[in-house]
Amino acid sequence: MTQDPRLAQIAELLELRADGPYGLHDINQRQHALQSAWLAEQAGCPPALIAAALMHDIGHLVHDLGDNPAAEGIDDRHEAVGHAFLARWFGPEVTEPVRMHVAAKRFLCATEADYFGKLSPDSVLSLTLQGGPMSATEVVAFRALPQAAAAVQLRRFDEEAKAKGLETPPVAHFMPAVAASIRQPG
């Protein structure tokens, strides 16, 4: 049985292109992805959310804006880039939490008094570039989206997945969740 080339491409991105730094943290993009997926798995999430957690920042790996465009005052729109990349192969249960994880940060900053204080310095910088906390109208619109709860859950994993030295399983451990979530060709 040959491996699905889509799965091979995703694994290759995470294994070979994710060595760059993750913002201002002492971890790289791969470690952040693995920690996010590990947190989702430990929380008992379904395969689609584990896959989304693993790939939520894949937009950083497929654009050509460098390791930390926010430091240059650029919103890299990695959530939209990642969504466009993944939408070829996955349904909304994977792609929508990826697309909405930045909006979920804006939502949480608007709806939870202590959330902003939990953000890392680079998340605060990117929040400014991404529009800041949501307005009351945006909060209502966000809550009405079908994948809003999954996006918020993914965002919480995203914020927590920044621990230097945290041991996680390798990319291969999470690929069955990705495989279970990928659309079948045809």
pLDDT digits (tens, 9 = 90+) for 42-87: 999 999 999 999 999 898 887 665 555 555 555 567 788 899 999 9
> How many separate domains does the chain show?
1
- What is residue 37's three-state secondary structure? helix
Helices first, then strands: H and E counts in the chain: 11, 0
Reported confidence tier of residue 121, pLDDT bands at 50, 70, 90: confident
Q: Compute the distance between CA of residue 39 and CA of residue 28 in angstroms, rounded to an integer.
A: 17
- Angle at which helix 148-160 crosses helix 92-111, to 10 degrees, equals 70
In a domain, 12, yes or no: no
Which residues form the domain of 46? 26-161+171-181
User: 13-40, pLDDT tens digit by residue?
Assistant: 999 888 876 665 688 889 999 999 999 9
Reported confidence tier of residue 123, pLDDT bands at 50, 70, 90: confident
For residue 123, the domain's CATH number is 1.10.3210.10
DSSP state at residue 18: -
In a domain, 155, yes or no: yes
**In this structure, are residues 51 and 94 in contact, taking their beta carbons and an 8 Å threshold?**
yes
Angle at 128 between CA 144 and CA 26, to 5 degrees: 105
**In this structure, are residues 121 and 149 in contact, taking their beta carbons and an 8 Å threshold?**
no
In a domain, 19, yes or no: no
In a domain, 34, yes or no: yes
In a domain, 79, yes or no: yes
Query: Against a cut of 0.85, is the pTM above it?
Result: yes
In a domain, 1, yes or no: no
Q: How many CB atoms lie within 10 A of CB 126?
A: 22
In a domain, 14, yes or no: no
In a domain, 85, yes or no: yes
